[in-house]
């Protein structure tokens, strides 16, 4: 099976399994999504969703967050891991949003990635899910499955993202990255499948 045929099968199967793709992180606007995605680094979405309600009580907009002390924020976000770095980033980016962007989350990759604690993956999620811009955020699930399904041999998420963008139409990216994540969690876990037993691996690697 050629690589494009593999990709076409994956897209067809994932559309059957996940016709709708609710965003796993609870949020109400681009700012709360940005902060939630930042908190999700090396942390589960479930844990983030348990943590953010308390954080939003403290501050759920850039103006209020910019006035907070990083130590106060750290006490709340500590369960998400990397508390000192994440709390400084959240307060820092909030101050930049207020000072440079009138409290509005910018809508370009360059501006988002210039904010403290915001890397390419975080920016991609915000661009895709908050603003509808075609983006393909690659996390560990997607990187692992793309290799398992022989859609990419990329050693880095950057290369995997590049490979996947060539195989799938850009109007599928925003939904597809979530579909792959859902599938990786439900059927093709790191230890549970090993590239052989789940329905997609069995078809592609059988």
Question: What is the Cα–Cα distance from 180 to 40, expressed in whole angstroms?
Answer: 17
**Residue 169's closest CA among 18, 2, 12, 1?**
12
Of the residues 139, 147, 150, 165, only one is catalytic, namely 139
Tally of helices (H runs) and strands (E runs) in the chain = 12, 0
DSSP secondary structure string for all residues of 75-118: HHHGGGS-HHHHHHHHHHHHHHHHHHHTT----SHHHHHTSTT-
**121 tagged catalytic:** yes
**139 tagged catalytic:** yes
The Cα diameter of the chain in Å comes to 57
| Inter-residue contact 161 to 138 (CB < 8 Å) | yes
Angle between helices 173-186 and 120-129 (to 10 degrees): 110
Helix%, strand%, coil% for the chain, nearest 5: 65, 0, 35
By annotation, the residues acting in catalysis are 121, 139
């Amino acid at each position: 099976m050629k690589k494009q045929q593999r990709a076409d099968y994956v897209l067809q199967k994932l559309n059957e399994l996940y016709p709708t793709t609710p965003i796993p992180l609870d949020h109400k606007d681009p700012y709360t999504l940005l902060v939630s995605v930042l908190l999700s680094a090396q942390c589960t979405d479930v844990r983030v969703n348990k943590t953010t309600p308390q954080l939003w009580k403290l501050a759920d907009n850039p103006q209020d967050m910019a006035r907070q002390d990083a130590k106060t924020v750290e006490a709340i976000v500590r369960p998400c891991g990397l508390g000192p770095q994440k709390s400084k980033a959240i307060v820092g980016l909030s101050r930049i949003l207020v000072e440079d962007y009138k409290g509005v989350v910018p809508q370009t990759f360059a501006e988002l990635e210039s904010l403290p604690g915001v890397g390419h993956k975080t920016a991609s999620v915000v661009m895709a899910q908050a603003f509808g811009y075609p983006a393909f955020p690659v996390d560990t699930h997607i990187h692992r499955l793309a290799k398992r399904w022989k859609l990419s041999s990329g050693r880095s998420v950057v290369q995997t993202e590049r490979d996947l963008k060539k195989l799938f139409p850009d109007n599928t990216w925003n939904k597809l990255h979530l579909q792959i994540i859902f599938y990786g969690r439900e059927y093709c876990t790191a230890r549970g499948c090993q590239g052989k037993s789940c329905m997609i691996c069995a078809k592609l690697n059988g």
